[in-house]
Amino acid sequence: MKDIKLSQDQTDRMVGKIKRYFTDELDQDIGGFEAEFLIEFFAKEIGPHFYNQALADANRVFMEKVEDASYLVQELEKPTI
């Protein structure tokens, strides 16, 4: 898996959300650099777990669709003598 690359706009929006969370929920101020370090930490250490779960979910949906398609193909079969 490649490293996650975020645009500056995405990073700025995430930093804002993290700073608001720390202020609102933890009653603590956090600077922009600290928030960016948290983003990097979560992306590196926790991101792969979410990534793997997303792949598993996508695979499950894909397999369900393949199964559905298999039934549709079977319905197209013509009766034989």
67 within domain boundaries:
yes
Residue 2 resides in a domain: no
Residue-by-residue pLDDT tens, the chain, 81 positions: 567 788 999 999 999 999 999 999 999 999 999 999 999 999 999 999 999 999 999 999 999 999 999 999 999 999 898
Alpha helices in the chain (DSSP H): 8-26, 32-41, 47-76
Which of 72, 3, 67 is closest to 40 using CA atoms?
3
User: What domain range includes position 59?
Assistant: 8-76
Q: Is 37 inside any structural domain?
A: yes
Residue type, 69: A
Express each pLDDT in 11-26 by its tens digit. 999 999 999 999 999 9
Name the pTM for this structure: 0.70
Q: How many domains does the chain have?
A: 1
Res 4: pLDDT: 77
Mean pLDDT for the chain overall: 93
